[in-house]
Structure 1
Amino acid sequence: MESLTSRLDALRPKIEELMRIGGTPGLSLGVMHQGTQVYFASYGYRDVEQRLPPNEETILPVCSLAKAVTSAALGILVDENKAGWGTLVKDALPSLDIKDETLQNQMTIADLLCHRSGMSWGDNLLIGTDNNIITRLLPFRGQFAYNNLAYELAGKVIESLSKESFFHFIQSRIFDPLGMTRTFLKTPPLDLDNVGKCYNALDDGTSAPITCVKDLMKLYKAFIKGFNHQISTGNTSTDGIPLKQVAQLMSAKIFMDQPSKNEASYGLGWARVQLPGRMGQIGINPGLMPHGMPIVGKGVPPRLVIFHQGSLPGALALNMLLPDTESAIVITSNALALNDVPDWVGQMVLEEFLEVPASERNDYLAAAKTSVATNLQWYPDLVEELQRAQKNGTSARNLSAYVGTYWDHLHIVKVAITVEGDHLYWALQGLESEKFRLAHYEDDIFTWLQPRNELSRRGRWVGTDQGPSFWKVEFRVGPDGDPDRLYWVHDNDVPADEYRKE
């Protein structure tokens, strides 16, 4: 039988083609089996300008892979009886003050970590509406709804319970005991070597700069060891690792991606799929596949895969754990690509790892091309939709009438409106880095939409989840007939937030 190493080596041309299609300069792949790292490969460049390749110690963002670490930190605190999974957030975090009574009085720590609170998404800007930082859009505990804001709140819970900073607690209680010496929760020191540059993919797949697998293997080995031991014994701790309550962390808490023939669920910082089944639910590919994600793992015995994905401007990442064979597939990359490149690479590697019959394997190159085409269609479709809904024959008032500093109700977020030459600009928090030109749309409404490549060069997240309302800024007039407030829909399905001129 051909060795796993040679079989994975043979995937290099396809992996490099997936990177080319999506627009990813550098990627690292690590594979663990039976608790031992058995494979590592790097592709492309961690620094395109200097032509520097990545290796297993190259530091790159892992984005939402940090959710498992956040949950693990709470697992330690639960095991120390500082709280329970059913503890109300308001009891663990006395400063919590949410206008929504259900979230304020019924939301538990577990609700935060398994994305079943129903609260607003909160990613485009960590602010809320109606004078509150958190709103509820979906039925409480009614369905899985991925939410980064919940984990921001979970970090505050950790600080409240531990009386330490989030960063210090995780560093001292998880990273240091596992010997993760090249893992940071903050920006790495400037003099640290082998740090990858991060990029955003442009329309043609090239990259514009916006600014370690080795450690991750240590972390995921501990997760697998803890899960297998604690599931089999009923214990909440395992000798030799700092992680506690791992069986709870990695067990199903709410269904996702329904309907599904086999299990598809989310635990506390971890997703679970019983193969054969669809994967990628935490990444960007499902929204780019018009006919749905492919079924992974056809033609081989059913397997449980516990996984997560991470995405931010400049980086995409993936982990997949197979507890029954103490196996893991870990991928880091240095670009927010035109699709989720680590996801497609990971699924392809997984099918090779499982030795899925050739006739049952998915065509990931075709899937990559489809997902890129969908992504690139977002901008022209958005422009067409804006033009179709636009009223003709209207004009803006004198641009100086709009100038001023506008604040939200909480006086936390401000929008600075200025005029430079013949153009109007807005700047979130008054920051030069968040300053965009406003183009007149109709009446007192402007758009801040820029060409897709320009947004990518600015390091912004761009994608199909941002509809026309997100790109509009509406000014409204006060009793004196001059603009005194503006409205912006910063979050999907959330009413426009109001900012008043001061």
Structure 2
Amino acid sequence: MATSHGGFQLIDSQHVGDDKIMFGANGVNSCVQDLLVFYKAMLDASEHSDNDNPFKNIEAILSGHMPASGPSLLERSYALGWHRSQLPNTIAGSSMNGNYVSDMPVLCRGSKSQLAFYHGGHSTASQNWVIMLPETKSVIVVLTNTMGNGDASNWVASLILETLVDSPEKHNIVAIAETASKRATQLWVELHEKMEKGRIPDTTHKPAAQYVAKHWNHVGNWHMDIYLEQDSLRMAFQGDRQRSHVLTHYHHDVFTWLMTQDENMKHGRFPYTSSGQWLIKFQIKGYEVVGL
């Protein structure tokens, strides 16, 4: 994962098994060679029906089902698991990069208009991107083993796309990526400033022992273990005390586990920079803690 200074630090591999909540999203190991076979079969199915082709409902899968956000004269919609974008257009949906630049670049300006299908995927150990161009039977697959400051796989795929279609008005993708990288780090600074401004000073909390409990969700398959260790209140997701976090008092019955970017990186956690991610508000009924 990327550090705040642009370096990198090795983190533990992110295990995904059938007992993990993300198994449906990234529970398959693959490679560029295999994925090119997979997407070629999808493109073949979009052209003609074949009993040997595993994609039987490709028209429904690739058809636009809802408009994408943001104005566009050319089509920009969402299918079933795929973004649709009629080039020239942005290739931005499902990318973190939209958070780091004022406007995502309109790719392939001056080139022939054609429909692109694309999607990205992220974990703390990787950033990945795929773009399919049915008209030329072209597929771009970018796989990385890094969570960078910004989504490098999206920038690389964008650069390859403009090269592939020989766009006469190519963007300086590297310069845009450098700007996004600086903004990704700056958001951590702004997060800490926002958290400090939102704190109500001079409030008190209950004795730490009163917050100790296993707090379960309504369906009973996920919980947060709040416990005391050496007089410190700590939080462990799913009771995993090897990866626990100290809770510090924020105000009233609200606590925080806020980390710096580099602390978050050392824990191998996704780089969320919204304040709500970092606040734990205990629910009080009378004098009892009844939830969070």
Q: How does 1:87-106 map to 2 (within 5 A)?
A: none
Deviation at residue 239 of structure 1 after TM alignment:
4.5
Distance 1:260 1:218, change over 3 A: same
Q: How does 1:223-262 map to 2 (within 5 A)?
A: 223-229=42-48, 237-262=49-74
2 CA distance for matches of 1:411 and 1:311?
27
Q: How does 1:354-369 map to 2 (within 5 A)?
A: 354-357=165-168, 360-369=169-178
Deviation at residue 376 of structure 1 after TM alignment:
0.8
| Equivalent residue letter for 2:214 | T
Deviation at residue 388 of structure 1 after TM alignment:
0.9
| Equivalent residue letter for 1:484 | V
What SS does the aligned partner of 2:247 have?
strand
Residue among 286, 289, 294 paired with 2:101 = 289
Distance 1:474 1:346, change over 3 A: same
Instruction: Show the counterpart of 1:216.
Output: 35
Residue among 394, 411, 420 paired with 2:229 = 420
Ranges in structure 1 where 5+ consecutive residues have no aligned partner = 1-199, 230-236, 488-502
The answer to whether structure 1 residue 330 and structure 2 residue 132 are counterparts is no
Instruction: Show the counterpart of 1:471.
Output: 278
1 CA distance for matches of 2:65 and 2:259?
41
What SS does the aligned partner of 2:197 have?
helix
Distance 1:249 1:295, change over 3 A: same
Distance 1:240 1:403, change over 3 A: closer
1 CA distance for matches of 2:275 and 2:216?
23
Distance 1:251 1:412, change over 3 A: closer
Deviation at residue 453 of structure 1 after TM alignment:
1.4
Instruction: Show the counterpart of 2:291.
Output: 486
Deviation at residue 369 of structure 1 after TM alignment:
1.4
Instruction: Show the counterpart of 2:22.
Output: none
| Equivalent residue letter for 1:307 | Y
| Equivalent residue letter for 1:318 | W
Deviation at residue 471 of structure 1 after TM alignment:
1.1
Q: How does 1:60-459 map to 2 (within 5 A)?
A: 200-205=1-6, 206-211=8-13, 212-229=31-48, 237-290=49-102, 292-357=103-168, 360-459=169-268
| Equivalent residue letter for 2:166 | E
Mapped contact 1:283–1:309 kept (Cα < 8 A): yes
1 CA distance for matches of 2:159 and 2:133?
15
Mapped contact 2:127–2:147 kept (Cα < 8 A): yes
Q: Deviations over 1:361-406 (max 9, x none)?
A: 1111121012112211121111111111212122333322322333
Mapped contact 2:210–2:289 kept (Cα < 8 A): no
Q: Deviations over 1:261-318 (max 9, x none)?
A: 111111112111111111121211112112x101101111112111111111111111
Deviation at residue 478 of structure 1 after TM alignment:
3.7
Distance 1:486 1:469, change over 3 A: farther
Which TM-score applies when normalising by structure 1? 0.52
Instruction: Show the counterpart of 1:82.
Output: none
What SS does the aligned partner of 1:331 have?
strand
Deviation at residue 477 of structure 1 after TM alignment:
3.6
2 CA distance for matches of 1:390 and 1:213?
47
Instruction: Show the counterpart of 2:26.
Output: none
Q: Deviations over 1:65-115 (max 9, x none)?
A: xxxxxxxxxxxxxxxxxxxxxxxxxxxxxxxxxxxxxxxxxxxxxxxxxxx
Q: How much is the aligned-residue C-alpha RMSD, in angstroms?
A: 1.7
Of stretches 342-351 and 469-478 in structure 1, the one that deviates more from structure 2 is 469-478
Q: Deviations over 1:112-155 (max 9, x none)?
A: xxxxxxxxxxxxxxxxxxxxxxxxxxxxxxxxxxxxxxxxxxxx
| Equivalent residue letter for 2:141 | V
Distance 1:219 1:412, change over 3 A: closer
Mapped contact 1:201–1:208 kept (Cα < 8 A): no
Instruction: Show the counterpart of 1:77.
Output: none
Mapped contact 2:212–2:226 kept (Cα < 8 A): yes
What SS does the aligned partner of 2:10 have?
strand
| Equivalent residue letter for 1:475 | F
Q: Identity, % of aligned pairs?
A: 29
Instruction: Show the counterpart of 1:53.
Output: none
Deviation at residue 332 of structure 1 after TM alignment:
0.6
2 CA distance for matches of 1:445 and 1:220?
48
2 CA distance for matches of 1:410 and 1:221?
40
What SS does the aligned partner of 2:122 have?
strand
Mapped contact 2:223–2:238 kept (Cα < 8 A): yes
Q: Deviations over 1:318-349 (max 9, x none)?
A: 11111111111111111121111111111111
Instruction: Show the counterpart of 2:271.
Output: 462
1 CA distance for matches of 2:216 and 2:52?
51
Of stretches 426-435 and 254-263 in structure 1, the one that deviates more from structure 2 is 426-435
